[in-house]
Structure 1
């Protein structure tokens, strides 16, 4: 699937021709007080967005296919990630804060991790098997926590040697016994069938997000310029395309598309031939995208703001697909 010729930019005053049938790009939200840090969904009618606290609590928004609902998370501090299951939506953020929104009774449950590091990622496998990870503010010391339905704790078999020099940003996996952890430190951690391993990366550049589909696992990151790594059981491979690739922060892989986003409104897609190309039709913006979600209808939801170049402000949400109801 390729969208590099899709639609004219919404920043132009008008399109001289009808938008192609496969979808259009639109900026849904811009200039919000707090940057939007993460987006997750189960469908085009169930999309969750979380973000920075601009003074009145962190952003928590839900799209139901018709309208957005804003939720009160019940306390201060930025939220950095969101991921969910059928019954609960999990969020993580500053000060070791972890939230679960119960879809049935429409209420939040809150925990504080055993130590106060910022939690950049959360990944639920089941309501009684949830992982979270993060780092200190200097990104010199990482933490990984696991929830068993009763309490959060560090995995007993996660040794200091495994964590040495590793600041963890994100978690993703196929199942409970096959998980990847990425971040700073020139390594990724792989938890498979009860065994941990440190996987040396092609570069010591940071990786910010990891995701996979159809047997492939990719992580993205970089510093100013972009960095894409394929993670495999037998090691890691640099698959960054040649030429100018901006720093990338978010990636999402689905059965139909693998999309990465990053600095200056960058939106890149991996083609069926394995080649990464920029989606030039995406709206131009000087802001940074931090996360992306691809829904089952092949819609793209990208969120960000002033994240690396500012103070977590100017929240931005961009969508590709059928125009959203106003």
Structure 2
């Protein structure tokens, strides 16, 4: 038995993989630059995936980063020329042959959408009404198929949220100013063409419930056959900033986010939709300053949440197994570095997951892999 353990350790050292509790490993990535990070990850199959982020070695000229996983390893992919400074914040693939990435063209002060098809990345044309607008960026993507999807974000100049709709090769924009004004959208998930959830926060209202003279921080909209409308929130959930959604159907959905009280005591929140209302799911983590960033599932009985513990400078992993949520203990997490966090997660098959984030101490992106 000892001999077998020794052989396994030798193999792990050769592959530059570190064991985590619960079968999580941190994997070897290509050298991108001296300073780079990852923000989003998407696996359309168990043997192919993508991760995106930014290269910030030159802080005045950022560059989008695209990594591809194939044949058991990650490689750096040269992105298309977007501008002199830009970054990527979201990626979503509907198959191994087609997907999208989105972010912010900093040089031109507008959102950017990249489209992967037939082995190549190219830039999608944004709606005409947004071509000349300044200060807007995109944070999240959701696609039902290669012919229908959504991209959401917000303006950095106080002019409201962004909702773009993709149908049969063309992007159009939601133009209802009453719906968009004063908001930033951070997450989107489409159950069907007539059932879409979009959420985030009220622009500039990232504060606690102790300040009753100001508006609540939560803003969330839902679309049915009659169009988008604002979702009324239970009083105790009106300050939960929405970061990410996952819906199985119209009667079973999940949302993760942040509950800002008094800085630096912001804490993560997990919500469950039962078809009529959002309900808070209590999570006992034991830290004063932590966020939940993303959520994904392999089935209605199994899934994971990732996030950031800013009090301890560590990533967060939360497992869902047969109706029970359990944190991977802070003591069980091996050191990725002195300061790291996780921002996105993607299911790649039956109980197989990939998570992406950043080693802030080493100024580089990180990817973790879970497999039973």
> Do both share a fold (TM > 0.5)?
yes
Distance 1:269 1:139, change over 3 A: farther
Q: Deviations over 1:245-277 (max 9, x none)?
A: 63111111221522111112100122312x321
2:65 pairs with 1:59: yes
Unaligned runs of 5+ in 2: 1-12, 14-18, 105-109, 203-217, 261-265, 309-313
Which of structures 1 and 2 has the bigger CA Rg? Answer: 2
Q: Which moved more, 1:147-156 or 1:285-294?
A: 147-156
1:49 to partner: Cα distance: 0.4
Q: In the TM superposition, what is the alpha-carbon distance from 1:143 to its structure 2 partner?
A: 0.9
Higher RCO (CA 8 Å, separation ≥ 6 residues):
1
Q: How does 1:59-98 map to 2 (within 5 A)?
A: 59-74=65-80, 75=82, 76-86=85-95, 87-94=97-104, 95-98=110-113
Q: CA deviation at 1:240?
A: 3.4
Distance change in 2, residues 1:138/1:226 (3 Å): farther
- Aligned residue in 1 for 2:9: none
CA RMSD of aligned residues (A): 3.0
Change beyond 3 A, Cα 1:30–1:206: farther
Alignment of 1:1-326 (within 5 A): 23-29=23-29, 33-54=35-56, 55=58, 57-74=63-80, 75=82, 76-86=85-95, 87-94=97-104, 95-102=110-117, 104-112=118-126, 114=130, 115-116=133-134, 117-137=136-156, 141-155=160-174, 159-185=176-202, 186-201=218-233, 202-213=237-248, 216-222=252-258, 223=260, 224-244=266-286, 246-255=290-299, 257-263=302-308, 264-273=314-323, 275-280=324-329, 281-285=332-336, 286-305=339-358, 313-321=363-371
Q: Is the 8 A contact 2:29 2:75 kept in 1?
A: no
1:210/1:164 CA distance change after superposition, 3 Å: same
Q: CA deviation at 1:129?
A: 2.0
Q: 1:283 to 1:218 in 2, by over 3 A?
A: farther
Partner of 2:3: none
CA 282–294 in structure 1, closer or farther in 2 if over 3 Å, else same: farther
1:3 corresponds to which residue?
none
Query: What is the CA-CA distance between 1:282 and the residue it aligns to?
Result: 4.2
Structure 2 length normalisation: TM-score?
Answer: 0.71
Contact 1:257 1:294 in 2 (8 A): no
1:125 CA displacement: 2.2
Q: Distance in 2 between matches of 1:139 and 1:277?
A: 38
Give the number of equivalent residue pairs.
Answer: 299
TM-score (norm 1): 0.81
**Structure 2 CA distance for aligned equivalents of residues 216 and 252 of structure 1:** 13
Is this contact kept in 1: 2:101–2:114, CA < 8 A? yes
User: How far did residue 198 of structure 1 move?
Assistant: 1.3
Q: Distance in 1 between matches of 2:277 and 2:219?
A: 10
Structure 1 or 2: more helix by fraction: 2
Task: Determine the C-alpha separation between the residues in 2 that align with 1:107 and 1:59.
Answer: 12
Residue deviations 1:11-61, cap 9 Å, x none? xx9xxxxx89x8452343499621100001122201110111324731111
Kept in 1, the 8 Å contact 2:199–2:243? The answer is yes
Distance verdict in 2 for CA 1:164–1:242, change over 3 Å: farther
How many Å separate the matches in 2 of 1:43 and 1:128? 19
2: distance between equivalents of 1:36 and 1:152? 26
